[in-house]
Amino acid sequence: MATGYQRFEGKVVVVTGAAGDIGRETIQRFAREGAHVVAVDFNADRASTLTNELQSQGFLCSAVGADVTQEADVKRYVEHACTEFGGVDVLFNNAGMEGESSDIGDCDLDDFDRVMAVNVRGVILGMKYVVPVMQARGGGAIVNTASVAGMSGAPGLTSYCASKHAVIGLTRSVAMQQGVNNIRVNAVCPSPMTGRMMSSIEQKMQPDDAAAVHDALIATIPLGRYATPADVASMVTHLCSEEAAFLNGGLYPVDGGVSA
């Protein structure tokens, strides 16, 4: 079912982290603008609930349960997009996790490895398997989800911050490498956003007074509020659309002025 603005008519869009706050909002935008969406998430049930809802409204989409850290799973979601819809035009490489909050002396290396696996290995694997498919199609657009924590330090979240800096390095490198193939690669960098992840971070940083962390973070944001999933989805869909045809290798803050 088509509604209004149709920037993705007939395009095949793959979104990872599909069952989360940003994933759900973004998938709805892509679907409403005419895309055929493959919703990828570790949590297959929540991804299917979303795609069932969208299918019942007449949108073309399907869900794949996959762990983005596992090469076989990544191959499988890309093959699914090719079999079901004929290829991939857009990848929103968005699955991520926050990990634990600790001083460096207490850093849990298993947690560090897990954060790097999801946030960095997952992003590399997505691009590794999608780029050849895009090359065969004559081009495409990739958006990787970094963070304002990929652009400056985040003292309470060292592993997460390191992983998001790595996402930016990957984005810039693959953008320079694949521009010649008409594949654009950009990063979206949200500030703290209302939703599950920030509630968890606030709780981990100050278990006895999570609200104080929330207030302190809001005080650093010139526009005086957290981002919303809709704020992020607006940037992501813009970057993946033809309106952004000359944007490649860039970092796009959605942060109310934090990084200004």
Looking at the annotation, which residues are catalytic?
160
Inter-residue contact 133 to 87 (CB < 8 Å): yes
Tell me if 84 contacts ligand NAD by CB under 6 A.
no
Provide the 8-state DSSP code for 79. Answer: H
List 140, 190, 249, 253, residue binding ligand NAD (CB under 6 A):
190
Q: Closest CB to ligand NAD among 195 and 256?
A: 195
> Residue 229's Cα: distance from chain center in Å?
11
Out of 39, 78, 81, 97, point to the residue binding ligand NAD (CB under 6 A).
97
Cα dihedral: 229, 234, 236, 240 (round 10): 150
End-to-end CA distance of the chain: give it in Å, rounded: 40
Amino acid (one-letter) located at 115: V
Residue 239 in contact with ligand NAD, rule: CB under 6 A:
no
Instruction: Give the residue with the Cβ less far from ligand NAD, 192 or 256.
Output: 192
91 binds ligand NAD (CB under 6 A): no
| Per-position x/- string for 38-67, each x denoting binding to ligand NAD as judged by CB under 6 A, each - no binding | ---xxx----------------------xx
d(CA 118, CA 41): 12
Interhelix angle 229-240/21-32, rounded to 10 degrees, is 50
Binding track, positions 106-125, relative to ligand NAD; x by CB under 6 A: ------------x---x---
Kindly tell me the sign of the dihedral angle through the C-alpha atoms of 242, 244, 247, 249.
negative
CA neighbor of 129 nearest in space, from 192, 76, 52, 179: 76
Q: Does the footprint of ligand NAD cover residue 99 (CB under 6 A)?
A: no
> Among 196, 199, 216, 245, which residue interacts with ligand NAD (rule: CB under 6 A)?
196
Size of interface with ligand NAD, in residues (CB under 6 A): 29
Q: Which residues bind ligand NAD (CB under 6 A)?
A: 16-17, 19-23, 41-43, 66-69, 94-97, 118, 122, 145, 147, 190, 192-193, 195-198
